[in-house]
Amino acid sequence: MNSTVFSSGQKAFAVPKPDLKALIDPSSIVVIGASPDPTRIGGRPLAQMRDYGYSGSIYCINPRYREVQGFPCYPDVASLPATPDAALLSVNADAGLDEIERCAALGVKAAIVFSAGFAELGTEEGIARQARLRDIAARTGMAIIGPNCLGVANFNSGAIASFNLFAPQSGSKRAAIVSQSGALAAAIYASASQAGFGISHVVTTGNEACLDLSDFIEYFADAPDIDVVLSYVEQVRDGPRFLAAARRLKRNGKLLVAYKVGRSAKGAEAAQSHTAALAGNDRAYREAFRAAGVIEARNVAELVDISYLHRFAAGTPVGGVGVLSVSGAACVALADEFAEGGHPLPTFDAELQKELRTLVPAYGMVANPVDMTANVVNDDATLPTLVRLVGRSDAVSAIVTCGSANVMRKPWADIARDPERPKKLLITVDTLCNAREEAEASGFAYFNDMTRAARALCAYLSNAKATAEDAHIPPSPAVLSARASLARLKEAGRTALSEVEGKVLLQEIGVDAVADRLVHSPEEAAAAVLALGEPAVLKLVSPDVLHKTEIGGVRLGVVGEAAARAAYDDILASAQRLAPDARIDGISVQPYVTDGVEVLVGFTRDPVFGWMVTVGLGGVFTELLGDAETRLAPVSPQVAEEMFRKLKGFALLDGFRGAPKADVAAAAHAVALLSQFAVAAGDLMSEFEINPLLVRPKGALAADAVVVLSPEN
Amino acid sequence: MNSTVFSSGQKAFAVPKPDLKALIDPSSIVVIGASPDPTRIGGRPLAQMRDYGYSGSIYCINPRYREVQGFPCYPDVASLPATPDAALLSVNADAGLDEIERCAALGVKAAIVFSAGFAELGTEEGIARQARLRDIAARTGMAIIGPNCLGVANFNSGAIASFNLFAPQSGSKRAAIVSQSGALAAAIYASASQAGFGISHVVTTGNEACLDLSDFIEYFADAPDIDVVLSYVEQVRDGPRFLAAARRLKRNGKLLVAYKVGRSAKGAEAAQSHTAALAGNDRAYREAFRAAGVIEARNVAELVDISYLHRFAAGTPVGGVGVLSVSGAACVALADEFAEGGHPLPTFDAELQKELRTLVPAYGMVANPVDMTANVVNDDATLPTLVRLVGRSDAVSAIVTCGSANVMRKPWADIARDPERPKKLLITVDTLCNAREEAEASGFAYFNDMTRAARALCAYLSNAKATAEDAHIPPSPAVLSARASLARLKEAGRTALSEVEGKVLLQEIGVDAVADRLVHSPEEAAAAVLALGEPAVLKLVSPDVLHKTEIGGVRLGVVGEAAARAAYDDILASAQRLAPDARIDGISVQPYVTDGVEVLVGFTRDPVFGWMVTVGLGGVFTELLGDAETRLAPVSPQVAEEMFRKLKGFALLDGFRGAPKADVAAAAHAVALLSQFAVAAGDLMSEFEINPLLVRPKGALAADAVVVLSPEN
C-alpha cells in the first residue's frame, strides 16, 4: 500500500497510512445524519446493517433523537461513548466537513462521505470544499472515501455503509465491486444477482478526493476473503500506481475484470464531459489492462460473467475449448460464438475422434464441436465418458456442455464423482430451466445463454494468453547508455535530433540503421556512393522541403561515380528551379535498399500510462486503414512479433506474391529494444518514430528516425 | 402461397394446395401413438393441450386404451367418429408412414411427424422413408411438417402439437417462432419467457421433407394474429421463394427477424456436417436478409429483443437515438454501445440543448446523451418534459430513458397520458428492479440491461435504414438487349468472351470501357495510337502469358508514331526472348488512363440466392485486407454508392493526398447497371468481373472484363 493518500505529482507528507480496513471492514460505525426513516438516505444504512446482521457497534448522531431504528443516538460525535472505526456522513457538504474534522480529532480512522456539493459541481465553492477534504486526509491520514459516493458495503460482515438498497444474494461470496460510479455499481450488483453470482463487497469511489480506484484494488489484492474484483472504470488517475496494484492482485492469484467506458468517440466525449478527467487515450487503457493481466469486459453482463467463471477455474487455462451438445444447432451456434470471440474450436485429432465415435452415432459430429445427438439420453454414462475423453486432449482447457438440465442433471453429478474427471474449466449451458445449484454443486459454471457463456469464456481465455506473454523487461545496458547520451544532448540545449544523430542513437540502442552521409559537392557524392555501396540513393536535405520527390529531390539506384556526380548536380538544379527559396543543407547519400518491406514503429506518450508503441505497415495501411497494433511499452520480442503477425497486411511481410519473407524476428527484436528505450527515456522525449524500418530478408534497418526532446523538465 | 409442396427443381403436380391453417390452427387433432403418461412424448401434447385449454376436438389412437388422459381413444384411424383436421404422429417411422397414408385416405388435411429415422440418419433406408413421405404429400396435397421435428404449438388456440414442454407465458402474444431446430426453438421460447416477451406460435420444421421455412413465413405473412416472426435459420432451400415470402411479410407491415448460424469458418463447417445442406455462402444469406428487409440477429437474446421492440414501434424509425439518463456513467456506456452498434448518438442542435439546459443542471450533459443528473428526482415533471423536447427533434426516432423504476415509475405514467407525447419508439432501461408491466403499460419497451437494449435497437434501426434503400429494379432495355447478345454468343458455342468482346458487351449495357485495338504490325500500332489518343499503352496479348510486365510485355505512356512502332517491336522482341514458346495474338493498343482510381467489380453466383456483386479497391486492398463490400444483385446506384463509401479505403477515391476526387457516382451507376445485367443473364454466365474499373475525376471506364459463359444449361 502506498504511504500517502496523494496522487502522483503531489508532495508526500509524513502522515499515518490510511487504514482501508477500517473503511471496508470496520468494527464499529457512527452514522452522522442518521434518520429514523429506513427509506431515507440517512436511514437506509442502518436498516440494511440490521438486516444483514452487522455485529459491530453502531452509533447514530442526530441532535433530535436519543435512539434511531433501535440504535443509540447522540447529539454530536464528542458525546460518543467510544471512538468508532468509521464515520458515515449523510449530512450536507459543509456540515460534513466540520464533522469529519471532529471525527479525525477523536481518532476515527475512516470516513464514508455520501454528501454531494463538492468538485462535481464545477463551482469554485465545490472545488474549495473538495480541497478542504483532501487537506483533512493529508493532515490526519484518515481513510476518506467520496465525496458524492454511494458508500461501501461489506456483505460478509454486514457493514453496509451505503444508501443503495441491496437485495440479498445467496451463494458463496468472494467478489468485490469497485466502481467509479454509484449507479453502475448498483447495476453490476443487480446483474450479478440475476446471474446467481454472489458479491461480498461494493465500493463506490465517488469524486475520489482522497482514495481512488487503485487504493481499493491494492487493498483487495491482499484481502484474504476476495478472489476477484469487478471494476467499473471511468478514469485512472495514476497509471503506474494502477498497474502496480493490478499486478499485485494478479500475483496473488486473483483476477481483476474491468469495464471501461468511453471506447467510442461519442462515448469518450461524454466521459470527458461527465468526469472532467484528463483525456486519456482509450487504447492506452486497453493495452495497460492487457499488460497488467486485467481482463476487459465490454459491458455489465460480461463483467459479471467473466468474474463468475474465475470461481470454477482450475489453474491458468492455456488451450482451447471443447464443446459437447445434444443439439447440432447449438453446436453450430457455439462454433460461431467461439470463432467470433477469437477462440475457434480446435479440431480434435483423429485418435480422439475415433474414440468419441464409439459413443456418438454416425449422424452426430465428433471433430469439435461434438454433436452427441439426442441419443445421449439413452445412457447416462455417455456424457461423463465423453467429457473424460475430451478432457484428456491437450488442445482443450475448457469444456462446454450444452443441453437441458433434464438430460444433464445425472451426468453432472456423475462427473463430479468421477476420479478421472478432467482438471479443466467445466461449463454447462442449460437454455431451458434453472438448475444452477445442481450444476454448481457438481463443479460446473452454469449459464442459461450460449452467447454469454461463450463471450465470457473467450475473454477469460484471452487473458490467460496475454498473461503467458507478460514479462518484466529490464532495460539493457545499451539502452541505459543511449538514454544517457540523449540526456546529454538535452542538457546541451538540443530540442531535436537530426536524421544522422537519430540513427547514431538507434545504433547505440542496438538497432541497425541505413548508413547515411551528408555531402556538399559532386565529388563528395561520388566518394560516398563508392564508400556506402551501390546502388545508392541521393536525397535533398532541406528543412523547407517536405516532399522531396515533388521537386526532383530524390534519385534512386545511382551506380558509379559519374552517375553520382550527375545526380548531385541534377538534384540541386531541380531544387533551385522548383524551390528557389529553400535552404539546402546538402545532399544525403544512402545505400539503395530495395529488398526491405517498409514498416513504421511509432511511439506516443499517454498522459496516464506513459509510452505506447505502435507498429504498422507504411503508407495507406496505417494512415488510411488503421492497420496498426499498439501495446504499452516495453514489449518483449515475442509480443513485438505477435504485433506484426496481427496486422491485416502481415502477408506483405510473409512472402507476398512470391517475394522473399521479411525477417520479422529481426524487426521484432528492434521494436523491443526501441520500446525499452522509450520507457527508459521517459519524459526526456516528446516524440519518437522510426519510419520506415526496412525489414529485409535478413535483418531490419531503420531508414529514418524522428527524436524530439521534450521542452519542459 | 405456392401451389405445390415441392422445392424448386422438382416437377409440379396438380394437387390441392397444402392447408397450413389445418396444421397451425386445427379445429380437431388426432394423436397417433397417444400415451397416458403425460411425461412421455406421446403424452405431452395431450397434457399441454388440456392445460392450455384447447377447445377443438382431440382424439387418440392407441389399440391398448379406450381413453387416454381423459380423451377418447380408438384402435385405429379408421374407427374415428369424425375426420380430424390434423394428425400428430408419435410412432416409429415405418408405422408413421402407414398411418399417414390412412389419414390421407380419410381426408385429414395436415400431419405433424415427430418420428425420427428418416433422411437425418444418412442411411439408404432413412432416405427411402423420407422419399415416401414426400410422395404422400405430393399425391395428396397433405400439409406435412417434419419428420424428426418437435412439432407445432399454437398458444392462442391451445393446439400444442409438440412434445416440447412450454412454460406458460403472460402478456400479449402476436409472435411466431419458426425454427429449423427443435432445440433452438425451445431455447428461443425460454429466452422470450425470461425477457417477458409472449410467443403465440412455435413451428419446428425438422427435416423439411415437404414443407419448409419459407412456407411458414409465407403463412404468417398473411396470418392476422401475428406481427413478428422469429426464425432460426440453418439453410434456405430456395432463395427466391424465401425472398418472396420475406418481402410479402414485410409488405404486410410485419417483421421477420432471423438468427442464422454458420457465420464463421468453423461454424459453417459444423453446419455443413449437421445439416448436409448445400454450401451456401454465409455472406449471401446476410445480403439476402438485408435485401428483403429481414433483420439479422446475432444470437438468441438478440432475436428475442429485436422482435420485442417491434411491438412498440411507431412507424418506420428513420433517425437516430436520444438518450436520457439519471447517471452520467450510464450515459457514457450507452454512447459507446450505440456507436459500436453503428448508430452513434446524434448531437442535438444548439436550440434543443438550450431548452434542455433549463431543466438540467450545469454539471449534467445536454448534447446527447442527456445526463439529467440525480436532480431529476426532485420534480416528476422534469423527465416527461425532457422526453417531449427530445421527441421534437427530427434527428431522433427512438428515445431511451435510463434510471431505476423508483425514479421513472411516475414519469412513465405521465408520459403515457401526455397528449404531446412523441410518436417515437420509447425504450426504458431499468437495471435495478422489475417494473416491466408498469413500463409496458405506459408504452415503453422495457429492458433491464443497457447493452441488450442498445444492441436490439441498433439492429432494428439498421433494418429501417436498409429498407429505405430497398427498391425493385427492373432491367433496362439496354440490359435486356445485352442479355440477348450474350445468349446469341452462347448459342454460337462460345465459352468465354475476349477482352474486346467483353468491352463491347459493357458498352451495350451502358458502361464505358477503355477503347482497345488489337494490332499486328508496327504500322497498325502507330495508326492505333493516333486514333485512340496519346499517351497510349501497348500490351502483349497472349493466352500463355499471365504476367505481361515480367517479360517486358507492357509499354506505358507511348507518344507519337515512332515511339509506337518502337514499342511494338520492343514488346515482340522481349516476348520472343523471355517467353519463346508463348502464342501471341497480337498487341493491344489502349489510351493510357492515368487519372483513374482502380476498383474491381466482381460477381459471384450463390447457389441459393443467385448473383452477388462485390466492389473493392484493386490489389492488396481486396486481396489482402478483404476491404470489399458485397450485396445481393441487383443494386440501385444509391446502394452501389454506399458500397463504395463503406470501403475502409474509400479515402483513396475521395481526394486522397491532394488527388482530385474520383467520380464515385459514375462508378456507382456502372455497378448498378452491371448488377442488373448479371441478374438478367442469370445462369447464362458462370463468371463475370470488371477489373479494373477506372474511376476518373469525371466518369468511370472499364479497362478489362472477364465474361465466362456457363457450360451447362
Distance (Å) from the alpha carbon of A262 to chain B's nearest alpha carbon:
6
Nearest to A431 among B187, B404, B449 (CB): B187
Contacts of residue B111, defined as CB under 8 A and 6 or more positions apart, other chains included, come to: B23, B86, B87, B88, B89, B100, B103, B142, B143, B144, B145, B146
Cell numbers that stand for B35 in this block = 400415451
User: How many residues appear in chain B?
Assistant: 713
- Residues in A touching B435 (Cβ below 8 Å): none
Q: Is A55 buried (19+), middle (13-18) or exposed (0-12) by CB count in 10 A?
A: exposed
**Peptide bond preceding A369: is omega within 30 degrees of 0, i.e. cis?**
yes
Q: Tell me, what's the pLDDT at B2?
A: 39
Distance (Å) from the alpha carbon of B583 to chain A's nearest alpha carbon:
25
Q: Please indicate whether, in this complex, the C-beta atoms of B299 and A367 are within 8 angstroms of each other.
A: no
Q: Rounded distance, CA A140 to CA B26, Å?
A: 80
Q: Please indicate whether, in this complex, the C-beta atoms of B448 and A190 are within 8 angstroms of each other.
A: yes
Q: CB contacts < 8 Å between A and B, how many?
A: 221
Q: Please indicate whether, in this complex, the C-beta atoms of B264 and A336 are within 8 angstroms of each other.
A: yes
Distance (Å) from the alpha carbon of A625 to chain B's nearest alpha carbon:
6
- Residues in B touching A365 (Cβ below 8 Å): 270, 273-274
Going by the DSSP 8-state scheme, the letter that residue B65 receives in this structure is -
Q: Cell 440475476, residue?
A: A194
Going by the DSSP 8-state scheme, the letter that residue A549 receives in this structure is G
Distance (Å) from the alpha carbon of A431 to chain B's nearest alpha carbon:
5
Instruction: Give the chain A residue whose CA is nearest to the CA of B183.
Output: A327
Instruction: Give the chain B residue whose CA is nearest to the CA of A455.
Output: B299
- Residues in B touching A124 (Cβ below 8 Å): none
Q: Tell me, what's the pLDDT at A464?
A: 64
Q: Which of A177, A336, A347, A378 to mutate to test the interface with B (most CBs of B within 10 A)?
A: A336
Cell numbers that stand for B59 in this block = 382424439
Q: Which of A127, A178, A332, A450 to mutate to test the interface with B (most CBs of B within 10 A)?
A: A332
Q: Is A594 buried (19+), middle (13-18) or exposed (0-12) by CB count in 10 A?
A: exposed
Nearest to A649 among B181, B264, B624 (CB): B624
Q: Tell me, what's the pLDDT at B622?
A: 77
- Among candidates A551, A568, A478, A481, which has minimal Cα distance to A517? A568
CA dihedral angle for residue A378, residue A379, residue A384, residue A386, rounded to 10 degrees: -60
Distance (Å) from the alpha carbon of B430 to chain A's nearest alpha carbon:
9
Q: Which residues of chain A have pLDDT under 70?
A: 1-15, 276-280, 464-472, 546-547, 712-713
Sheet arrangement for strand A370-371:
A370-371, A320-325, A396-402, A425-429, A445-447
Contact B450, A300 (CB under 8 A): yes
Q: Please indicate whether, in this complex, the C-beta atoms of A326 and B183 are within 8 angstroms of each other.
A: yes
Q: Which of B269, B300, B332 to mutate to test the interface with A (most CBs of A within 10 A)?
A: B332
Q: Please indicate whether, in this complex, the C-beta atoms of B187 and A649 are within 8 angstroms of each other.
A: no
Q: Tell me, what's the pLDDT at B431?
A: 83
DSSP code per residue over B249-266: HHHTT-EEEEEE---SHH
Distance (Å) from the alpha carbon of A666 to chain B's nearest alpha carbon:
23
Nearest to A335 among B267, B340, B432 (CB): B267
- Per-residue burial over B352-374, b = 16 or more CB atoms within 10 Å of its CB, e = otherwise: bbebbeebbeebbbbbbbbbbbb
- Among candidates A269, A220, A684, which has minimal Cα distance to A494? A684
Three-state DSSP at A209 gives coil
Domains and CATH numbers, chain A: 20-310 (3.40.50.261), 320-469 (3.40.50.261), 515-592 (3.30.1490.20), 597-709 (3.30.470.20)
- Among candidates A418, A413, A451, which has minimal Cα distance to A330? A451
Q: Tell me, what's the pLDDT at B94?
A: 95
- Per-residue burial over B3-32, b = 16 or more CB atoms within 10 Å of its CB, e = otherwise: ebbbeeeeeeeebeebbbbbbbbbebbbbb
For chain B, 713 residues long, the average pLDDT of each consecutive 10-residue run is: 42 72 98 96 96 97 97 97 97 95 97 94 94 96 96 97 93 92 96 94 97 98 96 94 94 95 90 71 91 94 97 82 95 96 96 96 94 86 95 95 91 93 94 88 95 96 63 83 95 86 94 92 94 90 75 86 93 90 90 90 94 89 84 93 94 88 97 96 94 95 91 68
Q: Rounded distance, CA B283 to CA B268, Å?
A: 11
- Residues in A touching B452 (Cβ below 8 Å): 301
Q: Could you give the residue ranges of the DSSP H alpha helices within B123-230?
A: 124-140, 182-194, 213-222
- Among candidates B385, B384, B400, which has minimal Cα distance to B461? B400
- Among candidates A261, A271, A112, A257, which has minimal Cα distance to A192? A257
- Residues in A touching B120 (Cβ below 8 Å): 363
Q: Please indicate whether, in this complex, the C-beta atoms of B261 and A450 are within 8 angstroms of each other.
A: no
Distance (Å) from the alpha carbon of A308 to chain B's nearest alpha carbon:
18
Nearest to A181 among B327, B335, B620 (CB): B327
Distance (Å) from the alpha carbon of A432 to chain B's nearest alpha carbon:
6
Q: Rounded distance, CA B547 to CA A297, Å?
A: 49
- Residues in B touching A182 (Cβ below 8 Å): 327
Q: Please indicate whether, in this complex, the C-beta atoms of B266 and A339 are within 8 angstroms of each other.
A: yes
- Among candidates B528, B526, B535, B522, which has minimal Cα distance to B569? B522
